[in-house]
Amino acid sequence: MAIKSIFIFISLLFISNLSHGKETERNGEMVNITAFGEGRCTDTSFWMKWHWLPMWRMLGSTGRINFDYHPYGIKTTCVDSDDGDDVKCECHHGERECLLNQLQACVIEALPNFEEYMEIVTCIQGKQNITMASEACFEGPTKLDRTKMMECAQSRHGRKLFSDQENLVSQIAPEMDWVPWILINGKRYKEAEEDLWQFLCDKFIDPRPIHCPKKIVY
Ligand SMILES: *[C@@H]1O[C@H](CO)[C@@H](O)[C@H](O)[C@H]1NC(C)=O
Ligand SMILES: *[C@@H]1O[C@H](CO)[C@@H](O)[C@H](O)[C@H]1NC(C)=O
């Protein structure tokens, strides 16, 4: 008799937890992730392919993830032209990296929702140059016009979109000395580079979504 009551009690507890879990998952706090990276940086490329996209595939359905990507990294300097009408930037991995970053910035401007831009930005990432990127990345269901995006990447507007991110870096990531540089709710976590999905599950998304791997004790 006693054992049966305990069983019923535990079942009720489990059921109430489950429904409570669903409720909080829907209404729970958003997790705000902001990342900075460089178009020719292999660590950024790796992170996008093996952490960013897979994380979204696994945790996107929780409705709890906000994301913001900025193609702007370290060892980058931009100076305004003499007439103040244009800007000239130098990038960590050279001229073609600036162009790749500019192409990514143009895509992000055209598709402000990260769910829409993340696949294309990841495709552009790490390509030899913008010609290679434009050939590979504007096929398929995207509504973006390849010619327009290529023009944007090489225009004053594209350079401005790119260089404007310098201000954001000085506001929210002044200590950035590495990319990818990942902020979660405004704070930088190195762990988010190495194991984004696991780290979000373990530290930020409570109650734990069913898609999460086993918890790691840090
Ligand atoms: C882009 O890279 C490809 C492959 O390395 C090369 O064949 C092509 O000439 C490059 N284009 C430009 C504009 O640099
Ligand atoms: C996340 O961003 C949203 C919208 O920008 C904001 O309202 C919320 O306070 C942020 N949450 C945290 C934990 O920073």
Please report, for the domain that includes residue 61, its CATH number: 3.40.30.10
Specify the number of domains making up the chain.
1
45 token code pair: 């490329």
Percent over 90 (pLDDT), the chain: 72
- pLDDT score for 138: 93
Domain of residue 68 covers: 30-203
- Ligand 1 pocket, 131 CB below 6 A? yes
**Is residue 129 in contact with ligand 1, taking CB distance under 6 Å?**
yes
Q: What pLDDT is recorded for position 2?
A: 52
Ligand that lies nearest to the alpha carbon of residue 153, given by its number in the listed order: 1
* Predicted model pTM: 0.85
Task: For 125-154, write each residue's pLDDT tens digit.
Answer: 999 999 999 999 998 776 799 999 999 999
11 inside domain: no
Task: Classify residue 182: in a domain, yes or no.
Answer: yes
| Contact between 130 and 96 (Cβ < 8 Å) | yes
Q: Which atom of ligand 1 is nearest to the CA of 128?
A: 2
Residue of the CA atom closest to atom 12 of ligand 2: 185
Phi-psi region of 32 (alpha: psi -120 to 50; beta: other; left: phi over 0): beta
User: Does the beta carbon of 136 sit less than 6 angstroms from any atom of ligand 1?
Assistant: no
Q: What is the pLDDT of residue 26?
A: 42
- Tell me, using a 6 A CB cutoff, whether residue 167 lines ligand 1: no
Measure the CA–CA gap between 131 and 199, rounded to whole angstroms. 36
The whole-angstrom separation of Cα 4 and Cα 80 is: 76
3-class SS of residue 208: coil
- Asked whether residue 80 is assigned to any structural domain, the reply reads yes
Residues of the chain where predicted confidence (pLDDT) is lower than 70: 1-27, 142, 217-218
Residue 208 lies in a domain: no
Q: What is the pLDDT of residue 8?
A: 44
Give residue 36 CA to ligand 1 midpoint distance, Å.
Answer: 26
How confident is the model over 49-77, as pLDDT tens digits? Answer: 999 999 999 999 888 999 999 999 999 99
